């Protein structure tokens, strides 16, 4: 077997490599009623989350999150969260439903990279997005109420692109430009796979 990791591999490749091996190790449990599916689906999510927020960061922020950072006076008022816009747990379904992804490191790596795509939102916005998925592992239920490419519009999120002159530049000194929600650039393979789960 050819080593997937080399001395000059970026940090996120190590997390991707771990997810690739972990999911391959349990792929035989997928859709087997003897096993809970959630732990299997969490494997990709955990490695995506652990590799950091700089891998695939298009510098998108919601208007409400921007206002929190610019005008919030307390720590609570300034609170924002980073949303993985393409849902690594759903991407796990794509990979497990089409296990050719688990035979092709480069293909899997491209999905992993897509899953690292983040936006900055308020906690309320993130919670509203979470409500657009119906999931009950005990009853083997999984439904998507709204496709990913429509979710931000559905909950009323307005996006801005931010620009900083240096990494730690204060938010009040950054430039913000409104952008359409199509800036999410949801991958077509995700949109296509979601169709079978639409409620």
**Cα dihedral: 94, 84, 6, 9 (round 10):** 150
**118 is a domain residue:** yes
pTM: 0.94
Q: What is the pLDDT of residues 79-103, one digit of tens each?
A: 999 999 999 999 999 999 999 999 9
**117 is a domain residue:** yes
Total count of domains within the chain: 1
**6 is a domain residue:** no
Region of 3 please: left (phi>0), alpha (psi -120 to 50) or beta. Answer: beta
Q: What is the pLDDT of residues 58-84, one digit of tens each?
A: 999 999 999 999 999 999 999 999 999
Neighbouring CB atoms inside 10 A of 98's CB total 12
Report the sign of the C-alpha dihedral through residues 27, 51, 129, 196, in that order: negative
**54 is a domain residue:** yes
Res. 1: pLDDT tops 60: no
The parent domain of residue 55 ranges over 11-197
Q: What is the pLDDT of residues 159-188, one digit of tens each?
A: 999 999 988 899 999 999 999 999 999 999
Q: What is the pLDDT of residues 31-56, one digit of tens each?
A: 999 999 999 999 999 999 999 899 99
pLDDT of 2:
60
Q: How confident is the model at residue 147 (pLDDT cuts 50, 70, 90)?
A: very high
H/E run at residue 145: none
């Amino acid at each position: 077997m050819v080593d997937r990791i080399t001395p000059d591999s970026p940090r996120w490749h190590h997390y991707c490599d771990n997810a690739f091996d972990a999911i391959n190790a349990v792929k035989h449990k997928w859709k087997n009623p003897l096993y809970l599916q959630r732990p299997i689906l969490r494997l990709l999510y955990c490695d995506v989350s652990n590799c950091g927020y700089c891998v695939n960061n298009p510098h998108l922020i919601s208007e409400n999150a921007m206002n929190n950072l610019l005008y919030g006076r307390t720590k609570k008022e300034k609170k924002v969260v980073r949303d993985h816009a393409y849902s690594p747990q759903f991407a796990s379904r794509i990979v497990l439903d089409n296990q050719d992804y688990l035979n092709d490191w480069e293909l899997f790596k491209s999905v992993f990279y897509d899953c690292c795509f983040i936006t900055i939102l308020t906690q309320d916005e993130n919670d509203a997005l979470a409500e657009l998925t119906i999931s009950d592992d005990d009853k083997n239920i999984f439904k998507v109420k709204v496709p990913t490419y429509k979710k931000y519009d559905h909950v009323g999120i307005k996006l801005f692109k931010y620009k900083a002159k240096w990494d730690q530049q204060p938010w009040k000194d950054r430039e913000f430009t409104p952008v359409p929600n199509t800036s999410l650039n949801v991958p077509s393979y995700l949109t296509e796979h979601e169709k079978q789960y639409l409620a």
